[in-house]
Amino acid sequence: MRHAKGHAAGFSLVELVIVIAVVMIGLAVAVVNIRTGLASSRLNSGVQITLSQLRLAREAAVARRMSYRVTFTQPGTILTERLVQGQPPVQERTITLPPEVQFLAPPGLPSPGPDGFGAGRAAIDFDQANGGGSNVVLFVPDGTALGAAGSPDDGVIYIAQARGLAPPRAISMWGATGRFKVWILTITKGGPKWI
């Protein structure tokens, strides 16, 4: 009996430290994955907000037979205005992107940008026919987007987070058709690429 009491079952201090270390590593991995997932979710939300504002303006221009102007302001504001000839612009809505999400072209973006628009240096890069750099999109009643000189307003807008927890996104626009495409930056063997 005495001998059995001396060898009572239990954990040694070394075993307890190992278990705590394994649990801590598991928690650290989980926290990183959750932060990355939340960042990606916020970024996707910013893309959907931006895309919906462009689509709403285009659809309103066609449906109401009026021109609509969408102005993007860094870090993350979208202003939509209705234009009536001979009158001042009528503000329809002002939308801001979710926290930590902004119009941003982080260093290292591939050049040219998605659909061949821009060089990946300006976060808001519309009016490619006139050298790019415009932050304004003008939708006219036939559904096209026109640039400053009246030519189709092709361009791209980059959406990212300053902390870079998730890959940047981009929305390209073909002015002649008023069509949009969403892109995500991926890293391949040949370097970063928009898919």
Task: Write out the two tokens for 77.
Answer: 């504001």
- Can you tell me the distance from the alpha carbon of 95 to that of 1, in angstroms, rounded to the nearest whole number? 77
What is the DSSP code string of 163-184? T--S--EEEEEETTTTEEEEEE
Other C-beta atoms lying within 10 Å of the C-beta of residue 91: 10
- Listed range (2-16, 94-108, 126-140) with the worst mean pLDDT: 2-16
pLDDT digits (tens, 9 = 90+) for 142-183: 999 998 888 999 999 999 998 888 899 999 999 999 899 999
- Listed range (42-46, 50-54, 77-81, 129-133) with the worst mean pLDDT: 129-133
Domains, the chain, ranges and CATH?
8-194 (3.55.40.10)
**194 confidence band (pLDDT: 50, 70, 90):** very high
**136 confidence band (pLDDT: 50, 70, 90):** very high
Predicted confidence at residue 8, as pLDDT, reads 58
CA distances 148 to 13, 72, 130, 155, Å, are 73, 15, 8, 13
pLDDT digits (tens, 9 = 90+) for 9-28: 777 888 889 999 999 998 88
